[in-house]
Amino acid sequence: MKKKAKQQLNVNLNDLDEGLHDIDQHTQPTHEESAAANSAQDKQQQQRKKLEEAANKTSNKPLTQKQKQKALQLETKRLPLILNHPQYSKDPFGTLKQHAENMLNQRVNIPNKDKNQVKDTDAMMQD
């Protein structure tokens, strides 16, 4: 019986190999498609690097007591607005992530001389 079972296992897999090879040829992207995909990935990587650089440009100086108090007041005013936002109630983490990305994009796109305007806007949020 063992001999019979072994004989039944001898199957020709060449047809299967040829079929897989044909499928592989049909699913491989063309040179133009792969170039377009690579350029899209490069753009995403460049954007991600800009965001990381903007995030890393923060000062290493510790905050003064006055700055800490100011930040606390600002966040105290923002928290109820965040919690009552309809998008936050649907997807809290996604909303916070999107907000962080938007803020980083906003700060990356602002020239140095216009950063005072951002500070003024932040100050207006405190009122």
Mean pLDDT for each 10-residue chunk of the chain (127 residues)? 65 74 73 71 81 68 88 90 89 89 79 53 49
CA distance 53 to 59: 12
Domain ranges of the chain: 65-127
pLDDT at 59: 63
- pTM score, whole prediction: 0.34
